[in-house]
Chains A and B, each alone.
Chain A
Amino acid sequence: MPSDILNRRTFVASAVAGVAATALPLPAMALTEAGARNLVNNVVSEINRVIASGKSEAAMLRDFEKLFVRYADVSIMARYALGADARSASKAQMRSFTKAFQSYISRKYGRRFREFIGGQVTVKSARKIKAGYEIKSLVKLQGSAPFDVTFLVSDKSGKDKFYNMFIEGVNLLLTERTEIGAMLDRRKGDLNKLIADLSKAG
C-alpha cells in the first residue's frame, strides 16, 4: 500500500546498509577476490561482536561510529553528501559538518542493528573500477530472500577505505545527498543550523 516503497528485500537491505557501512574493515593491501571475501567476513564478525557485546544501545552506536571512522572514507562521503554547498563552505564548517555527518550516519543506520543479527554475507566477486574496487556480495538475513549489496572501496585517501555502497541498486551516498539537501532547503540554506541539527538527527 502507500508505504510499500520497495520490495521486501530492499526494506531489510536499507536497514542493514548502515550497520555494514559502519564496520567495513579494510586492511591496506591489494584487493583480490580472496582478500575481499575475508574483508567482508571480517565486517560481519566485527558487527556481530559489537551486537553480542551486550552493551547499551548508546554504547553500541558509539562503537559503530568508531568503526565507521576507521574504515570508511568519511571526509569524501560527507563532502559528496553535502553536494554543491561543500564548495562554498569554510574549512571549519566542513570539519564540523563531517563530524556531524559521521555521527548522524552511525546513529541512523546503527540503530537498526537488530535487523542484522544472524546476517550472512557472501562475496560473489571483486574487481577493479575507476576509483578503486567494487565488491559484489549477497546478503542473507533471517526471514528474507537474499539480496545484492555492492561495496565500493578506494585507496585515494591513502588507505583502502569504503566510500559507498549499493543495496539492490540503491546508492547510499546519493540517498543521503538527497536527504541532506532537503534538510538544508528546510533551513533556507543555513549550513550552520544544518550542522547543529544533523549532530542530533538520525
Chain B
Amino acid sequence: MTNFAGTALRLCIMALALFVAACAQTTTVEQANGAFHDPYENNNRSVHSFNRGVDRYLFRPASKGYVKIIPDPMVTSFNSFAENISLPGQAVDYLLQGKPKESGIALYRFLINSTVGFAGLADPATDFKVPQVDTDFGETLHVWGVGEGPYLELPLYGPSTTRDAVGVVVNLFTNPLDFAPTRPIDNLGLYTELVRRMGDRGRFSDTVDSILYESADSYAQARLIYLQNRRFELAGDDEDAYLGLYADPYSDASDPYEDPYAE
C-alpha cells in the first residue's frame, strides 16, 4: 500500500468513526450488567455461522496442525515476532492518545526486540523488565470519546463493535512498517497477525471449542465475553469504570438472597 493510500484510508476511517460516535450508545450502568446494543443481530448471526464453518473446516484444523508440527518454543517465537511487528503502530496509537511515555516504551521494546531479540523472534525486553504495552486504534478512538457503538461480528475476524472494527482495519492496514522504504512484503502485519491467531487457536483449542461448539448459544457467549473483556481492557486503571463493570448478584433487582435462606 502506498503512503498516500494509507493516509487516505486512515482519514476515511476517522470520518466513519466520528459518524459512529454519534450513533446510539449503551450507558455505563447498562454496560455494568453486560448489556449490549445489537441492532444487527440477524446479520451478525449469519456471519457467526459463516465464521464457525470457516473455523470448523479450515482454521481449527490448520491451527491444531500448526501447533502440533511446530515446536512450542517456535510458536512462542512467531507470536513474539507478530507482537513486535505491531509495536510501531502501537507507538503511534499511544501518541494519538496523548500518552508519550507509553509510546516511548512501545518504541523501546521494538528497538530492543528487533536487535538483541533476533528481529523480534525473542522477547528480551520482557526479560529486561520493560513494562508491557498493549493498545490499538480502537482504544485511540475510545480515548477520543468515541463510544463502542453496536456489536458487530466481522467475517473471518470475529467479535467486534463498530468502533473497534474501524480500529482493526486501521491497525491491520496502516502498520507504519508498511510505509518503510525497505520492507520484505506488503501488509506484513496482516500475515503475522494470522500466524499469531493460529498459534492462539491451536494452544487454547479446548477453551475456544467449549465456547464455539459446546455452548447452547455460541453467538451470545462470544458476544458477552468479547464485550466484557474489551470494556475491561479499555477501563484500564480507571477504578470507577472498572467497578462499574460489576454485576453484583447480591444487589440484583430480584434480590437473590431473600429466598434461598428463607427456606
Chain A residues engaging chain B, CB cutoff 8 angstroms: 1-8, 10-12, 14-15, 75-77, 79-80, 83-84, 86-87, 91, 94, 108, 112, 115, 129-132, 143, 145, 148, 152, 154, 156-157, 163-164, 166, 168-171, 173-175, 178-179, 182-183, 185-186
Contact = CB atoms under 8 A, between A and B. Distances in A.
Contacts of A77: 249
Contacts of B198: 1
B216 interface: yes
B97 to A, nearest CB: 19
Interface residues of B, number: 61
B245 A169 contact: yes
Contacts of A182: 215-217, 220-221
Contact of A4 (B34, B132, B197, B261): B197
Nearest to A98: B260
A170 B216 contact: no
Contacts of A4: 157-158, 197, 200-201, 208
Given A76-B256, A86-B256, 17 more contacts: A3-B212, A8-B204, A12-B204, A80-B252, A80-B256, A91-B263, A108-B210, A129-B248, A131-B251, A154-B250, A168-B233, A169-B245, A170-B232, A178-B217, A178-B224, A182-B216, A186-B216
A8 B200 contact: yes
Given A80-B252, A166-B245, A3 B261 contact: no
A169 B233 contact: yes
A81 B46 CA distance: 27
A130 to B, nearest CB: 6
Contacts of B79: 8
B18 interface: no
Interface string B193-235: 0100110110110111011100111001110111011111101
A2 B247 contact: no
Q: Is the interface of B mostly helix, strand, loop or mixed?
A: helix
B208 A5 contact: yes
A79 B260 contact: yes
Contacts of B108: none
B59 interface: yes
B126 to A, nearest CB: 8
Nearest to B126: A145
B204 A80 contact: no
Nearest to B132: A145
Contacts of B261: 75, 157
A82 B252 CA distance: 13
A87 B254 CA distance: 8
A7 B199 CA distance: 12
A169 B232 contact: yes
Given A1-B198, A6-B229, A94-B260, A179 B51 contact: no
Contact of B235 (A86, A132, A143, A169): A169
A83 to B, nearest CB: 8
B44 to A, nearest CB: 13
Most buried by A among B51, B216, B257, B259: B216
B250 A76 contact: yes
A80 B251 CA distance: 11
Q: Identify the interface centre among A77, A91, A112, A170: most chain B CB within 10 Å of its CB.
A: A170
Contacts of A179: 215-217, 220-221
Contacts of A7: 229, 233
Nearest to B209: A3
29 contacts: A1-B51, A1-B55, A2-B158, A4-B201, A12-B204, A15-B206, A77-B249, A80-B256, A83-B254, A87-B259, A94-B259, A112-B206, A129-B248, A130-B251, A131-B250, A154-B250, A156-B257, A163-B250, A166-B232, A166-B246, A169-B228, A169-B230, A170-B225, A170-B228, A171-B247, A174-B34, A174-B228, A175-B221, A182-B220
